Amino acid sequence: MKKIVFITRHDPTKIGGGAFATRAYLEALNKIYPKQVVLFVADSYEDDELSYKSSKIIKVLPRTKLKAVLGILIGKLTRFDKIIKSWIKDNKNNIDTVIFDGGLVGGSFINIFKEYNCKLVTIHHNYEVEYHKENKSRETIKGIFFYWIKKFEKRAYLSSDINLFLTNPDLKSFKEKYGNSNSEQKVIGCFEFFKNEALAYETNNTISFNANNAIKLIISGSLVTSQTKDGVNWFLQTIYPKLKEKHKNIELTITGRSPGEELIEKCKKLGVTIIPTPKDIRKIIAEGDIYICPTRLGGGLKLRIMDALALGLPSIIQDKSFRGYENIGESNFVTKFSDEVDFFSAFDELLVNIKANSNNKDCIKNEYIKEFSFDAGVIRLKTFLK
């Protein structure tokens, strides 16, 4: 039986958007191709955590700091070079499909696999040039050096047999930046990984504001990343004081990984509750009435929004973060805004719609399941790969 190779820089057992997306794709692959998947992953990976396990897991130790720095200069941006080349020597006639988890990985290794007549697939989590620029990543020397990111991402896109994207805007960006590819190009989006899904729907079907008529707003995300911090700080500075003045009864909670002291202090001054690095972020989100995503930067699909939708929370989402949620956004209870002025009209309209329909949570959950459940993702991936 030929092998399905999956190569990822993310550790799918860790916390974070990229890790969660990778875990969903990996578990879906293992369900579609049981006992066929060979996983190349960082050595921190804890395979006992996953519901669907790969047939073979090759954990790769990190490089020394010196080699990692030199790699940025000479175009070796991952730790996998030697071990992949060694593995191919013994398995070159036993490979059916190679799936690269990201354009950087794809561009780094696609030429190595190309000569072995196997299907080559790249999953693009975002337009990586945009992501690395806005997050001032280590690979770009804090947003200064983009040569290898552009080169590898373009190579992966043009050389893959199948390119899978999380959103239509990402696919559009690739066509504009890199031209047309002869590959199949599909928008796969994202979806729950298997274990997470079981916890997704354990809330009441209706929304009811607190007895004191408080409206509880929730913002969540990795509070250590540049794009999340930008959106949260912009919301707190530009929108929240005016929103609080207009709606005296609102309460705002911000939760997520590793907030800095500056943000913690700002929340304290504004009377905003901040919950750093929660053990169960969905439990905190479930206590809210309305979810807000103010993130204005970054491509791909903002996975923390999935938590809110899985729990049935009416949501108001910044236009750039709305990408990938267009289908569920056709609901009256999930809407978008572009700027400060737009936010207030969208917020007031959302309040009206919520109060007019007591089944709003149920509506959101049903739409979420159709689009983002594990089973829905497995069907999409299976269709695209076969």
Tens digit of each residue's pLDDT (9 = 90 or more) over 267-323: 999 999 999 999 889 999 999 999 999 999 877 889 889 999 999 999 999 999 999
Residue spans of beta strands (DSSP E) within the chain: 3-8, 37-42, 56-60, 95-101, 119-124, 162-165, 184-187, 215-220, 250-256, 273-276, 290-293, 315-318, 334-337
Distance set, CA 112 to CA 88, 156, 278, 336 (Å): 9, 12, 42, 43
**DSSP secondary structure letter of residue 61:** P
Run of H or E including 41: strand 37-42
CA distance 7 to 337: 37
pLDDT score recorded for residue 140: 82
pLDDT score recorded for residue 47: 83
Could you tell me how far CA 85 lies from the centroid of its own chain?
Answer: 29
CA distance 148 to 209: 51
- Count CA within 13 A, CB hemisphere, residue 308: 28
- pLDDT tens per residue across span 171-204: 999 999 999 999 999 999 999 998 765 454 444 4
Which two three-digit tokens encode residue 188?
Answer: 């796969």
Give me the count of residues in the chain.
Answer: 386
Angle at 325 between CA 170 and CA 234, to 5 degrees: 85
Q: List Cβ neighbours of 220 (8 Å cut-off, separation of 6 or more).
A: 254, 255, 256, 281, 284, 285, 291, 304, 307, 308
Q: Which amino acid is present at 350?
A: L
CA distance 372 to 53: 21
Which two three-digit tokens encode residue 202?
Answer: 């354990």
How many of the other CB atoms lie within 10 Å of CB of 208?
Answer: 9
Angle at 290 between CA 355 and CA 224, to 5 degrees: 175
pLDDT score recorded for residue 139: 80
pLDDT score recorded for residue 197: 53
**DSSP secondary structure letter of residue 236:** I
CA distance 264 to 254: 10
Beta-bridge mates of residue 95: 3
Closest listed residue to residue 108, CA positions, set 9, 36, 13: 9
Residues of the chain with pLDDT under 70: 196-212, 329-330
> Which domains does the chain possess?
3-188 (3.40.50.2000), 215-372 (3.40.50.2000)
List the strands of the sheet with 334-337, edge to edge.
273-276, 250-256, 215-220, 290-293, 315-318, 334-337
CA distance 234 to 87: 48
pLDDT score recorded for residue 211: 45
For 152-170, letters b (16+ CB in 10 Å) and e give: bbbbbbbbbbbbbbbbebb
